[in-house]
């Protein structure tokens, strides 16, 4: 929450010091609560979506759960973007991929899951390398592997 004068006005433009003070107190409380604590690192989950989408979505959920169990905050765009975007429409797929790459910006690492690297995954991996993100590779049964050979 910034501390400028415009924060003291509501959406209709009326002066509203009560809401401002309440939001400021919440923000202050959250900062105090998290002071000295390390938040869960955001991890970009990279796994197949296209093809057997039902199975791939089930696996992506499992991979996210695994990340949570490791103390991480999983970011898996391919789990939520297809809820309102159509992967079979080229323009929507490209837009969804660009949204995913924007989410990658805020992640500490990328975790790559599965035995095959799809075209979309390769694009995400290339972007992560370009951003100097740490990459970790896992088989579909959640075993970490060194290097790029997932087969």
Instruction: Report which of 134, 115, 143 is spatially closest to residue 55, judged by C-alpha positions.
Output: 115
The separation between CA 68 and the C-alpha centre of its own chain, rounded to angstroms, equals 12
Q: In this prediction, what percent of the chain has a pLDDT beyond 90?
A: 63
Confidence of residue 146 (pLDDT cuts 50, 70, 90): confident
For residue 48, give every residue at least 6 positions away whose Cβ sits within 8 Å of its Cβ, in sequence order, or none: 56, 59, 114, 116, 118, 120, 121
pLDDT in tens, 75-100: 999 999 999 999 889 999 899 999 99
pLDDT in tens, 39-88: 899 999 999 998 899 999 999 999 999 999 999 999 999 999 999 999 88
Three-state helix/strand/coil letters over 76-87: CHHHHHHHCCCC
pLDDT in tens, 107-145: 999 999 998 899 999 999 999 999 999 999 999 999 999
- 68: its two tokens: 């949570």
């Amino acid at each position: 929450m910034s501390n400028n004068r415009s924060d003291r006005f509501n959406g209709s433009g009326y002066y509203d010091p009560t809401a401002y003070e309440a939001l400021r107190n919440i923000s202050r409380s959250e900062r105090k609560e998290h002071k000295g604590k390390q938040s869960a690192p955001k991890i970009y989950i990279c796994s197949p979506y296209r093809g057997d989408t039902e199975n791939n979505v089930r696996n992506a959920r499992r991979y996210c759960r695994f990340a949570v169990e490791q103390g991480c905050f999983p970011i898996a765009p391919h789990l939520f973007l297809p809820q309102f975007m159509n992967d079979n429409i080229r323009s929507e797929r490209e837009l969804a991929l660009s949204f995913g790459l924007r989410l990658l910006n805020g992640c500490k690492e990328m975790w790559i899951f599965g035995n095959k690297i799809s075209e979309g995954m390769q694009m995400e991996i290339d972007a992560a390398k370009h951003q100097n993100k740490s990459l970790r590779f896992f088989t579909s049964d959640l075993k970490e592997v060194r290097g790029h050979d997932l087969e």
